[in-house]
Amino acid sequence: MIFNILNDPTQMLGWKELVLIVFTLIETVIRLTPTEADNSIWNKISTVLKLILDAVIPNRKKGGGKHKT
């Protein structure tokens, strides 16, 4: 099964899972490297991704409105 996924990842995984795997690998590599330069670049990218995610799926409170970040 692992061999099949490694040969053709789209066979078992959809595009959402592949994107999640890629971002998880990037986050892991950045956290393991000791430099601050890559951390600042990833923080900018993740901030933009969070803004996009908040625009698509807002974090709503029980009584109405949005949570402040």
Q: pLDDT in tens for each of the 69 residues of the chain?
A: 677 767 776 666 677 777 778 888 888 888 787 877 777 888 888 888 888 877 777 767 676 666 665
Domain extent, residue 43, equals: 2-54
Is residue 65 in a domain? no
Instruction: Tell me how many domains the chain contains.
Output: 1
For the entire predicted model, the pTM comes to 0.49
User: Is residue 5 within 8 Å of 12, Cβ to Cβ?
Assistant: yes
Alpha helix (H) ranges present in the chain? 2-7, 15-32, 37-56
Is residue 67 in a domain? no
Is residue 6 in a domain? yes
